[in-house]
């Protein structure tokens, strides 16, 4: 069961042990039976390992195909969701447009009432100014009438005083003239 390859391996092991540990091992040493047993196990298990390694690319191909199928499925799902989202947005836009139209109508109806109220306010302001002007005119009339009375009173006093000054002799009269 020993081959040339095995003999070469055993010779390399003996040389390494001798050089590193300074121990000389015989070709018939029982340690080599352990090496040969390991070699037999490796030979027996190497074929399935090699086969498994050779199958990896094929398995990877299957895995990649599964991933590609999952990606395509995800893309279809995304497209479906986008369409549903567009539909939902269109519905929401339509609902908001209806709400906005209703709000505008209600606002316009409210503004009709407000415009009547504005007219009432304008009429009230006009009445206020008219009454204010009437009051100011009345007060002014009475103030002018009162001032006229006062003016007439003082004019009479001045006229009486001037009449008395006119009766004075001319030398004294000059004292009262400007």
**In terms of domains, do 29 and 90 share one?**
yes
Number of Cβ within a 10 Å radius of residue 10: 19
Query: How far, in Å, are 89, 99, 104, 105 from residue 92 at the CA level?
Result: 5, 10, 18, 20
∠107-112-114 over CA atoms, to 5°?
Answer: 85
- CA angle at 32 for the pair 28 and 36, rounded to the nearest 5°: 125
How far is C-alpha 74 from the chain's CA centre? 30
Query: Which of 113, 138, 162 is the C-terminal boundary of a domain?
Result: 113
**What local confidence, expressed as pLDDT, does residue 2 receive?**
58
For residue 27, the enclosing domain spans: 8-113
pLDDT of residue 100: 80
Q: Check residue 155 and give its pLDDT.
A: 92
Q: What is the pLDDT of residue 61?
A: 76
- In the block, which residue shows the tokens 């479906």? 80
Q: What was the pLDDT predicted at 82?
A: 79
- 41 and 58 Cβ atoms separated by less than 8 Å: no
- From 113, 141, 158, give the residue that closes a domain: 113
Q: Is residue 2 part of a domain?
A: no
CA distance 20 to 22: 6
Verify that 50 and 107 share a domain, yes or no: yes
Question: Within this chain, do residues 97 and 168 fall inside the same structural domain, yes or no?
Answer: no
> Does 78 lie in the same domain as 88?
yes
Residue ranges of alpha helices (H) inside the chain are 4-21, 31-166, 170-176
pLDDT along the chain (178 residues), means of 10: 71 82 79 76 79 80 78 81 82 82 77 67 86 90 88 91 84 77
Residues 15, 74 within the same domain: yes
Whether residue 90 is found in the same domain as residue 13: yes
Greatest CA span in the chain, whole angstroms?
A: 183
Q: How many domains does the chain have?
A: 2
């Amino acid at each position: 069961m020993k081959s040339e390859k095995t003999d070469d391996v055993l010779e390399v092991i003996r040389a390494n042990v001798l050089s590193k540990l300074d121990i000389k091992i015989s070709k018939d040493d029982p340690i080599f039976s352990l090496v040969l047993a390991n070699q037999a196990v490796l030979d027996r298990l190497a074929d399935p390992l090699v086969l498994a390694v050779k199958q990896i690319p094929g398995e990877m191909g299957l895995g990649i195909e599964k991933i590609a199928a999952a990606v395509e499925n995800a893309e279809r799902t995304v497209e479906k969701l986008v369409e549903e989202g567009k539909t939902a947005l269109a519905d929401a836009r339509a609902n908001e447009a209806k709400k906005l139209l209703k709000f505008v109508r209600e606002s316009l109806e409210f503004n009709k009432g407000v415009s009547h109220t504005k007219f009432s306010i304008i009429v009230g302001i006009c009445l206020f100014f008219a009454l204010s002007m009437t009051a100011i005119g009345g007060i002014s009339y009475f103030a002018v009438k009162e001032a006229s009375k006062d003016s007439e009173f003082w004019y009479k006093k001045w006229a009486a005083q001037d009449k008395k000054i006119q009766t004075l002799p001319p030398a004294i009269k000059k004292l009262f003239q400007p």
